[in-house]
Structure 1
Amino acid sequence: MDINSRIASLRKVMSERGIDVFIIPSSDNHGSEYVSEYFRVRAWISGFTGSAGTVVITKDEAHLWTDGRYFLQAADQLKGSEVILEKMGEPGVKTYTQWIFDNIQDGGTVSFNSKVFTVSSLERLKDEFSGKDINIMPVEDIFEGLWQGRPDMPKNEIFIFDEKYTGKSASDKISEVKEGINKIKADNFLLASIDDIAWLLNLRGEDVVGNPVFLSYFLMAGDNCTLYVDEAKITDEVKSYLTKANVEVKGYDDIVEDIKGVRGSLVYDPSKTNVWLKEAIADDVKIIEKRDITTDLKAKKNETELRCMENAHVKDGVAVVRFAKWLKENIGKIEITEMSAGDKVLEFRQMGEDFLYPSFDTIAGYGPHGAMNHYKAEPDTNLTLEPKGLFLLDSGGQYLDGTTDITRTFALGELTEQEREDYTLTLKCHLSLGNAIFREGTAGCHLDVLARKDIWSRGIDFNHGTGHGVGFFLNIHEGPMSIGKNYVQVPLEVGMVISNEPGVYRAGSHGIRIENLVAVQPKFSTEFGNFFCFKNLTLCPYDLDAIKVDMLTSEEIDLINAYHKEVFEKLSPSLNEEETAWLKEVTKAI
């Protein structure tokens, strides 16, 4: 079936059930950003494969809302279908809830799959629809009967993540959570976020490509803790391990019956908990909605986790340096495509100890493809790299001792003046944020201007966040902190790991992004309070061939030279003589 035929099949069901508007988010049963193939309904119905977006289908129209990372990709993938692109955040573009409100008649019915629609999303709907008589009708997953050949729910085995990496036992973490729950005087705690559950129990899985998580729920009722999961995934070793941690195991869907039996008060995160579970809660239960306590605990890496992550970044830096050397020495001599370049960096990563798999789909964009923030090379778009222009490579790895995410943009030969200026501007923004010193209590949104001031002064901007949290052998995107223009009032705290990734993108020409992962650490204390700074975890040179040195200040030159000195000192012991000589040359002082 083509996209329009799929939409038509959904409209037939909508008509039979009296549904006027159907909403299809990108998430799974747990409010996840990255999902297993089974849950990619939004991609199936629209043809848009990016990680973020919402589709709204009416009797006559189909619309997709997505953010600035995906404008170019979505416009391309929606060609030939009836789906209309709505560019979120752009002037004059309504939110999907506002659009529905304006386009539905009084008495109309809006529907969605109750398992993949979060409580927060439902609350937003109710707020937006308060001025009209609109019926909101959650339903079961109607795509089970529409999506022929739908992938199965994942059934991969779960494994124990050793305490030598985590620094804390599952029992210790559970005790910390109980303390937090007691402070807010809650009787029960429902946890639906799958990366939080993996962190809490020191378990990992393979249910989502790139993210070592497993589909599950967790309920803490007084002293009783229960993990709800497909029991086929639980080995005897894991079952014994959980028994010792006083965690009972039940079937994945058994959660709803136990939720019905909850009494007293229940705390959950409405952005991760689905409507299906909310509807099962008894009317007399006191509901407390707040961000999961595990999310805050997980974000602040302990000393063991940080030490492991530093080790993982040395291995990752070695892999990317080997790739950079191979690329620079072979461009124009052998055929290199976007896809083969992505395969090559993976090959070098696989040489590293404890590497498992990429932490996300590699973004390898040459020339104009570099301007597509989250471009993924496919056989029909796969460009051949030439000894000129810029090549953007955003990639990462999952190692047992950490998760990595790095972007470097390489000069493949002759560059235009515009390309060199844009590269240098991006680097200036990257250095400005990376060198920040900020007072305790500062949120990432307060620092975002540091990564934009040099490009804003020239009338340039980028349509994505500047920094996202990163998990420890977990999700590549992790909250609650971020750096960006959106107001997110979550202070940056010591131990948090976050990305620093400004960019400049010119549609049809080129794109540049430079990304390091950084850890928040103490800087100094004065009578005015405690001050923090960032420590670079990522170790890989910037491309000296792309820099316009006369655009840099003396301070910026010193920062580049100091970083390159650190890169050489930390990576060279793991390189052979030829690789070391190459690294020395590309990290020479400027």
Structure 2
Amino acid sequence: MDTTQKKLAELRKVMKSQKIDAVIIPSNDPHQSEYVSPHWQERAWISGFTGSAGLVIVTHDHAGLWTDSRYFIQAEMELANSGFTLHKMYNQFGSPHIEYLLETLPAGSSVAVNGFMFSKQSIDGLQNALSKKKIGLVYQKDLISMIWKDRPENSLSPIFIHSETFTGQSINEKLRVIRNKIKMAGGDALFLSTLDDIAWSFNIRGNDVEYNPVAIAYAVIDKTSAHLFIDARKVTRDVKGYFTKAKVKLHPYEELLQFLSSMGSDQTLLVDESTISQSVYDAIQCKVKYHPSIPKWEKAIKTNVEIQHLRNTMRKDGAALAHTFHWIEKSLKQKKSINECDVADKLAEYRSQQEHYFGESFAAIVGYQSNGAIVHYHAHRDTCKTILPKGILLVDSGGQYFDGTTDITRTFTLSKPKKKHKISYTSILKGMICVARTKFPKGTTGIQLDTLARQFLWSHGLNYLHGTGHGVGYFLNVHEPPQGIAPSFAERGKTVHEVGMLTSDEPGYYEDGAYGMRIENLIVAKASEYKGFLEFETLTLYPFEKKLIDKKLLSCDEKHWINAYHDECYQRISPYLKGEVKSWFKKKCKKI
């Protein structure tokens, strides 16, 4: 019996003693984060699946993992011989895991969840669905903590101030905007649990979650003051002084529930039901009004100061990429042995040499040949592939800088490409360009833009199963709601794009067991020359793989756009390069 099967046996033993028929274990933490600290990685701990999205259900005779198409290949590999069965989610409609419970559990059964790990909205939906078959839901039991004995502690890394030089707004300016919105919404105070919302609102950053510069905290903002619930050991003297000037009161993290329960019954607290956990919600004694997170929408619209910083950040990020990709080509020509992990290390090394660098924005995806078909692939030293001077290499990476967050994907051919490679790559490129060049009326949503990116792949009978784009934070989470470009009516698909929203544009194509291709730039919405219409400005800077482009498939306008883009890449990145790398890069930026 392997480690995962032993954990399952221990969990089922506890379930039996607690009279529980099924337990649901999500990916998130009490703050409903996508990426979570090791302390809260319960789903990964019990199943062995390390992808960022997925949900586990364990009954007395079955253990299943539900995840989407980005992780099918990864999940199949990581769940092998684990005792877990992969349940593939092919679209974002419905709740197949709930359907599974309704189909397999008899009436009178009991399902347990940790109420801190599920939002109020999720619990309401789950209770409503299960009640149809008279299945009970217990959300006061944390079964995983009963068996996870060596659970890691949360980080004590100090928080720090994100300078107004980079944000363009002071903490007082942001709190003033939030308070005005609270008043307009008919509230007396606002509750915040989402870590990036809190980081943005207070102009602070942390290092509690890998790749995301956030700190584990809660916050309540009222008409005259603000309350931050955080481990005091993480707050330095300078930061305390900063908070004092802004009238921010500090409280121990664990005192949140007591504070909420003591709020006056005549007060109205605004909460986002999609992010406040059920167990936190239960502590509230005052009036509650559901309202979308105010900071979520404010931070999604980047200021002119932030956008100007991002333009500069893309230049130095592009320089780091140039050094890395030059190193790859040179190493292969010299017949040196390099692998996927070596490339990831080089990306981090060259980015770390850039001004204002903080860290990576996610684990670099360096997928050679068949590994490129794993959308969120992460290479490990003991299993990563050696890169040879042939085939297809996909590289998706990003950096966290004090002056912005980057996320870029490029695909390369390391030998003469096949015809099908050029068709799929050129179709992807055409789709990416179509989104980047489009003008669209105000009120346009992500689902409307998504088709623009897919149309050229569709014309060849090709497609990809993931969304086309996601919002991106500013020295914050690389995946930032609410906007995106996606083929569903989930938040990313139904959100209207507004001026200042920063979004990725990343169509792709994947052939299981063979190769993967994706091209990704970051684009920001701005007003167009036509009244009532918007357009995108492309911020990311790095040339495309000319050897994979089939020029016969391009229109004259598309060729002109690519050539102008390549010229801009050279003009803006080359000042950061010297000697051999600069000469090499100039060739990469030549006209097609």
- TM-score, reference length from structure 1: 0.97
Rounded Cα–Cα distance in structure 2 between residues aligned with 1:509 and 1:304: 43
Aligned CA-pair RMSD? 1.5
Show the counterpart of 1:345: 347
Rounded Cα–Cα distance in structure 2 between residues aligned with 1:354 and 1:224: 32
Q: Is the 8 A contact 1:466 1:501 kept in 2?
A: yes
Q: Is the 8 A contact 1:430 1:501 kept in 2?
A: yes
Show the counterpart of 1:513: 518
What's the secondary structure of 2:483's corresponding residue?
A: strand
Show the counterpart of 1:185: 186
1:357 matched to 2:359? The reply is yes
How far the C-alpha of 1:579 sits from its partner, in A, is 2.5
How far the C-alpha of 1:224 sits from its partner, in A, is 2.9
Rounded Cα–Cα distance in structure 2 between residues aligned with 1:492 and 1:64: 33
Aligned equivalent of 2:502, options 497, 500, 523: 497
Show the counterpart of 2:209: 208
What is the correspondence of 1:237-316 to structure 2 with a 5 Å cutoff? 237-262=238-263, 263=265, 264-282=267-285, 285-316=286-317
How far the C-alpha of 1:312 sits from its partner, in A, is 1.0
Q: Is the 8 A contact 1:115 1:140 kept in 2?
A: no
Q: Is the 8 A contact 2:47 2:84 kept in 1?
A: yes
Aligned AA (1:576): K
Aligned equivalent of 2:384, options 379, 382, 385: 382
1:573 matched to 2:578? The reply is no
Stretch of structure 1 that moved more, 82-91 or 130-139: 82-91
Show the counterpart of 1:560: 562
Structure 1 pair 92–577 and aligned structure 2 pair: CA distance change class (3 A):
closer
Q: Is the 8 A contact 1:448 1:484 kept in 2?
A: yes
Show the counterpart of 2:469: 467
Aligned AA (2:514): S
Q: Is the 8 A contact 2:179 2:222 kept in 1?
A: no
Q: Is the 8 A contact 1:86 1:93 kept in 2?
A: no
Show the counterpart of 2:551: 549
Rounded Cα–Cα distance in structure 1 between residues aligned with 2:76 and 2:95: 18
What's the secondary structure of 1:341's corresponding residue?
A: helix
What is the correspondence of 1:75-224 to structure 2 with a 5 Å cutoff? 75-89=76-90, 95-224=96-225
- CA deviations on 1:400-437 (whole Å, 9 max, x unpaired) are 11110000111112222222222111111111111111
How far the C-alpha of 1:580 sits from its partner, in A, is 2.5
What's the secondary structure of 1:452's corresponding residue?
A: helix
Rounded Cα–Cα distance in structure 1 between residues aligned with 2:195 and 2:4: 31
Stretch of structure 1 that moved more, 13-22 or 85-94: 85-94
Aligned AA (2:116): K
Structure 1 pair 329–302 and aligned structure 2 pair: CA distance change class (3 A):
same
Show the counterpart of 2:15: 14
Q: Is the 8 A contact 2:92 2:488 kept in 1?
A: no
How far the C-alpha of 1:187 sits from its partner, in A, is 1.8
Rounded Cα–Cα distance in structure 2 between residues aligned with 1:42 and 1:413: 41
Rounded Cα–Cα distance in structure 2 between residues aligned with 1:92 and 1:514: 27
Rounded Cα–Cα distance in structure 1 between residues aligned with 2:67 and 2:462: 21
Show the counterpart of 1:524: 529
- CA deviations on 1:192-215 (whole Å, 9 max, x unpaired) are 011000000000000001100001
Rounded Cα–Cα distance in structure 1 between residues aligned with 2:223 and 2:534: 38
Aligned AA (1:524): E
How far the C-alpha of 1:281 sits from its partner, in A, is 1.7
Aligned equivalent of 1:419, options 418, 421, 426: 421
What's the secondary structure of 1:219's corresponding residue?
A: strand
Stretch of structure 1 that moved more, 65-74 or 327-336: 327-336
Stretch of structure 1 that moved more, 362-371 or 542-551: 542-551
Q: Is the 8 A contact 1:419 1:510 kept in 2?
A: no
What's the secondary structure of 2:522's corresponding residue?
A: strand
Aligned AA (2:510): Y
1:231 matched to 2:237? The reply is no
Stretch of structure 1 that moved more, 133-142 or 474-483: 133-142
Show the counterpart of 2:396: 394
How far the C-alpha of 1:93 sits from its partner, in A, is 9.1
What's the secondary structure of 1:266's corresponding residue?
A: strand
Show the counterpart of 1:582: 584
Q: Percentage identity across aligned positions?
A: 39
Show the counterpart of 1:406: 408
Q: Is the 8 A contact 2:112 2:141 kept in 1?
A: no
Aligned AA (2:497): L
- CA deviations on 1:86-129 (whole Å, 9 max, x unpaired) are 11125999611121122221111111111111112112202322
- CA deviations on 1:280-335 (whole Å, 9 max, x unpaired) are 122xx332223201100000010111111111111101110121222222225211
Rounded Cα–Cα distance in structure 1 between residues aligned with 2:554 and 2:194: 44
What's the secondary structure of 2:61's corresponding residue?
A: coil
Structure 1 pair 454–306 and aligned structure 2 pair: CA distance change class (3 A):
same
Q: Is the 8 A contact 2:417 2:547 kept in 1?
A: no
How far the C-alpha of 1:393 sits from its partner, in A, is 0.5
How far the C-alpha of 1:459 sits from its partner, in A, is 1.9
Show the counterpart of 2:370: 368
Rounded Cα–Cα distance in structure 1 between residues aligned with 2:500 and 2:91: 34
How far the C-alpha of 1:353 sits from its partner, in A, is 0.9
Rounded Cα–Cα distance in structure 2 between residues aligned with 1:149 and 1:177: 40
Stretch of structure 1 that moved more, 427-436 or 471-480: 427-436
Rounded Cα–Cα distance in structure 2 between residues aligned with 1:408 and 1:60: 44
Number of aligned residues? 585
How far the C-alpha of 1:510 sits from its partner, in A, is 0.5
Aligned AA (2:27): S
What's the secondary structure of 1:495's corresponding residue?
A: coil
Stretch of structure 1 that moved more, 236-245 or 118-127: 118-127
Rounded Cα–Cα distance in structure 2 between residues aligned with 1:331 and 1:287: 62
What's the secondary structure of 1:14's corresponding residue?
A: helix
Rounded Cα–Cα distance in structure 2 between residues aligned with 1:397 and 1:124: 37
What's the secondary structure of 2:181's corresponding residue?
A: helix
Aligned AA (1:445): I
Stretch of structure 1 that moved more, 143-152 or 174-183: 143-152
Q: Is the 8 A contact 2:49 2:75 kept in 1?
A: yes
Stretch of structure 1 that moved more, 50-59 or 123-132: 123-132
- TM-score, reference length from structure 2: 0.97
What's the secondary structure of 1:524's corresponding residue?
A: coil
How far the C-alpha of 1:74 sits from its partner, in A, is 0.5
How far the C-alpha of 1:486 sits from its partner, in A, is 1.2
Rounded Cα–Cα distance in structure 2 between residues aligned with 1:141 and 1:17: 11
Unaligned runs of 5+ in 1: none
Q: Is the 8 A contact 2:168 2:306 kept in 1?
A: yes
Q: Detail structure 1 runs of 4+ shifted over 4 Å in the superposition.
A: 90-94
Aligned AA (2:61): D
Rounded Cα–Cα distance in structure 2 between residues aligned with 1:141 and 1:546: 52
Rounded Cα–Cα distance in structure 1 between residues aligned with 2:418 and 2:94: 35
How far the C-alpha of 1:149 sits from its partner, in A, is 2.0
Rounded Cα–Cα distance in structure 1 between residues aligned with 2:281 and 2:9: 31
Q: Is the 8 A contact 1:387 1:414 kept in 2?
A: no
Aligned AA (1:513): R
Rounded Cα–Cα distance in structure 1 between residues aligned with 2:464 and 2:308: 33
What's the secondary structure of 1:129's corresponding residue?
A: helix
Rounded Cα–Cα distance in structure 2 between residues aligned with 1:536 and 1:58: 49
Rounded Cα–Cα distance in structure 2 between residues aligned with 1:340 and 1:168: 39
Aligned AA (2:460): R
Aligned AA (2:552): D
What's the secondary structure of 2:386's corresponding residue?
A: coil
Show the counterpart of 2:446: 444
